A and B are shown apart, each in its own frame.
Chain A
Amino acid sequence: MKRFTDLYWRLDATTGTNEKVDALREYFAAAPPEDAACAIEVLSGGRQLRAVSTALLREWAAEAAGIPLWLVEECYAHVGDLAETLALVLPHAGTDAGADGVGMGLAECMRTTIVELRGVDDDRKRATVEHVWRRLAPRERIVWHKLLTGGCRVGVSRTLVARALAEVAGVDPAVMAHRLMGEPQADADSYRNLMTSEPTAADARRPYPFFLASAVECEPSDLGPVTDWIAEWKWDGMRAQLVRRGADATLWSRGEELANESFPEIVAAAAAIPAGTVLDGELLAVRDSSLLGFAAVSKRSGRRRVPKKLLEEVPCVFIAYDLLEVDGIDIRGLPLSERRTRLESIVPLPFTVGAGSAATVSVGDAVTETATAPPRFLHSPCVVGESWEALATARSMSRDRGVEGLMLKRRSSPYGVGRVRGDWWKWKIEPLEIDAVLLYAQAGHGRRAGLHSDYTLGVWHDGRLVPVAKAYSGLADTEIVELDRIVRATTLERHGPVRVVQPTQVFQLAFEGISRSTRHKAGVAVRFPRIVRWRREKTPPEAGTLAELLRMIDLGKVDLGKVDAAADPETVP
């Protein structure tokens, strides 16, 4: 446990990629296989069930510290991290610190003090928890609490873990990244398999590491001749990979979780795809010729069983835009133009949006469900533009089409690993904007703990300011610190961690879409709101109005499916 605790704090203390990889490499080189396997699972954010509810932990910690529960909550609001709060309020470890929990390896510690807690009653849980508390120093307690409550994230991507493991095992980082895909098995044998230089048996179901695009930062015309590029719509769905090998079809999310159970109709339809094929694409929800948006798809994802009603309400299709493997051969190294040609021969039907979308496309040869069943696999058609201007025109219609803009992919590009800049760009549409007034502020978490960095903003309606969006980001760190002081100085009321402030500050708020909503006080919901700029020169009376927002809805397509994705402007309790 000590070794892992040290790793955790080393990773926490640095923002440098190389230093993180160094720390990981040294850890994996030294840790026993069963601890190393366990660490991979923990670091890659493998979902763990919570062994003890945080409510119980707070109560027990309050009693152990001899302070009332409300004071623990006050501390939490100030610290912004529950694991850390509890670690700090507890009495300091006694003289027997260094025994037990610390002396155990990570795997054993997790097994005996966390996994085995799941089945037992609260009294026995409490006895174990208090036993561990007495033996750990605060910095060790924080890590243990994070393991215990199932959220031990420390800012390392799976790519970094793969890089470190690849260096230790002496294999190519891409091979290691590939091996790490899929469901982790936290035991010594699977770790040895992972680190072997031989190909492994589980390779058959594994997806490839996803290639990720970056936001385009220059004028697209600076990317060179338009003929070097392929443009596609940027879909508002869930990225996924279909691995069709042997008799199996497996669907993987970008979070590297198996998604078969969440999308049974897609997996069933995949039987028609030839074996030895891997498709990269997007899961989209489409009903009655209209795109339902990401929120609808996310209702499906992560489910172990999808109720029939939901299957009918949120029918999904797989829109393929890349082909990574054909006839069992990895073709990621071929140019995109060639991969696309082959893709269109395997998935011949194009997906079109707007009037007459997927549901009206006739059933093709590639999909052999019942004659009336809609096709589940379609390809994302290229958006043809003779010039950058033509593509810009196409992009300007994105909002009407229910897409987020364009993807620009270099014709000659291979399919890379992770976020490699240069070949794949997201060219998203300009956001909608309005000037809004700060109404409530709440302390942030993690790096922004103790600072008021979560803001609820409002616009005018009938002479009052009504909250319309909650924005978490968009200001520079120095601005957040400055605004934090203003929040503290202009607080009118406090409701737990939320402060109601005098409306004095105006911000330019950007968002991706807007729709009517009955779930929000103002009657509208904005999607992915964030602050673009602090309008210091403006005063609250100059801020926007609800009427302006409503006009934006009327201009664009009303898309009910997006309502749920909207940020929830929190009403003050």
Chain B
Amino acid sequence: MADLLTVTDAGLYCAQGDFYIDPWRRVPRAIITHAHADHARSGCGRYLCAAPGTLVLRSRVGNASPIDSLRHGETLSINGVEVSLHPAGHVLGSAQVRLSHGGTTWVVTGDYKLEADPTCAPFEPVECDVFVTESTFGLPVYRWQDPATIAAEINAWWRANRDAGRTSVLLAYALGKAQRLAAAVDPSIGPIIGHGAVMKMVEAYRASGVRLPPIDRVPPRTRRMGGGRALVIAPPSVAGSSWLRIFGETSVAMASGWMTLRGVRRRRGFDKGFVVSDHADFPGLLTAIAASRARRVLVTHGFTDTLARLLQERGVDAAVLPTRFTGEAAPDAAVTDGDGDHDQSEQDGLPEAEE
């Protein structure tokens, strides 16, 4: 029987249903796992995403094309292929795509994590025959601590900065991680300020019903802000830019899974690194793979060769599925562009904030 998905020049294609999942070219019909730029490109004819992610996707791809949505678990038949979307726990509205056709079930995870995140629905294991998994952090050196511990570390850093009269600048991916961090920190320590790119997504989150603490914008022509007490959440692209000057003396921290490594922390020259990722860590990947009970596992973007080889040695029918989502995991690329997600709109957000 033919595979339900193949990799074409335009992306992951389902021939039976005639649609793409997270295509990297403009196609007539696209199912989107989540709104990060390497998964959601503008210009497709028609989009389908999970209902909680509609507003976020809209803010990313613009108003030109219709966006259909499915509630989590709701089924839609597209040319005879049963399609349903299940929470992936990555960012608001992120979904695993389940496809069923001719007695075979496939699940495409997109990006996912297993940790609790107050800003999106938790990852839901979905049983299938073929499991297409990401592998961004597919090496055993990547293991996350529980979110409460990380939140306590961030709070302690923020508090110490505040007591020393320094503004805390936390660099995080503008969609997802920024909101997750805003929801996790202790707002009684001081005011929270969001960069323009972050605020655009904060609005989409709030409009989608996600509760976030008060976050201030940077008004145009601001000369001074933060007063040495604030926590500024901004995309990584502002590191070293003049935009930071309005906050006076700062301590700059990066929140990324790549911060696990001392070499990356040192190379990037941040004052502090917090190991926070919206991707599954190594044990998380193995847990999700086992929970899928799949007889075949296809490994995409990340440490594909390594994870596939390990699974093979453990008796799993595993192979690499070459996609263009992030290519190979590259700590520096990831640190610059967001946590494994290349996102041009980070840069687009910068001038907006500098006005």
Contact = CB atoms under 8 A, between A and B. Distances in A.
B267 A448 contact: yes
A485 B267 contact: no
Contact of B330 (A74, A446, A447, A484): A484
B310 A71 contact: yes
Interface stretch (A75-83, A93-101, A287-295): A75-83
A484 B332 CA distance: 9
Contacts of A88: 140-143, 260
A81 B262 CA distance: 9
Interface string A470-482: 0000000100010
Interface string A63-96: 0010110110011001111001100110010000
A68 B271 CA distance: 35
B266 A450 contact: no
Contact of B306 (A71, A80, A445, A446): A71
Contact of B264 (A13, A67, A449, A485): A449
A189 interface: no
Interface in A481-502: 481, 484-485, 488-489
Interface string B309-336: 1100100000000000001101111001
Given A446-B263, A450-B261, A451-B267, A75 B327 contact: no
A104 B193 CA distance: 44
Interface in B239-268: 260-264, 266-267
A80 B264 CA distance: 10
Contact of A447 (B260, B263, B303, B333): B263
Interface residue range, chain A: 20 to 34
Contacts of A15: 269
B139 interface: yes
Nearest to B269: A15
A330 interface: no
Contact of A81 (B140, B263, B331): B263
A450 B264 contact: yes
Q: Which of B139, B264, B269, B331 has the most CB of A within 10 A?
A: B139
Contact of A65 (B140, B269, B332, B333): B140
A465 B267 CA distance: 32
A-side binding surface: helix, strand, loop or mixed? helix
Interface residues of B, number: 26
Contact of B313 (A65, A68, A84, A451): A68
Contacts of B306: 71, 74
Interface in B134-150: 139-143
Contacts of B309: 70
Interface in A430-478: 445-451, 477
A489 B327 contact: yes
A65 B140 CA distance: 9
A130 interface: no
A289 to B, nearest CB: 48
A450 B262 CA distance: 10
B141 A447 contact: no
Nearest to B267: A447
B332 A481 contact: yes
Interface in B105-127: none
Interface string B230-243: 00000000000000
Contacts of A542: none
B331 A450 contact: yes
B332 A67 contact: no
Given A68-B313, A485-B333, A79 B266 contact: no
Q: Which of A12, A450, A484 has the most CB of B within 10 A?
A: A450
Contacts of A449: 261-264
Nearest to A67: B140
Given A12-B266, A79-B261, A71 B330 contact: no
B261 A84 contact: yes
The 8 closest A-B pairs by CB, nearest first: A449-B263, A88-B141, A481-B332, A89-B140, A447-B266, A75-B141, A450-B331, A75-B139
28 contacts: A13-B271, A67-B140, A68-B313, A70-B309, A71-B310, A74-B139, A74-B303, A75-B139, A75-B140, A78-B141, A79-B141, A80-B263, A81-B262, A84-B261, A84-B262, A84-B263, A85-B141, A88-B141, A88-B142, A89-B141, A448-B263, A449-B263, A450-B264, A451-B332, A477-B267, A481-B332, A481-B333, A485-B330
Interface of A: 12-13, 15, 65, 67-68, 70-71, 74-75, 78-81, 84-85, 88-89, 92, 142, 445-451, 477, 481, 484-485, 488-489
Given A447-B266, A450-B264, 14 more contacts: A13-B271, A70-B309, A74-B303, A75-B139, A79-B261, A88-B143, A89-B141, A142-B262, A446-B266, A449-B261, A450-B261, A450-B263, A451-B267, A485-B330
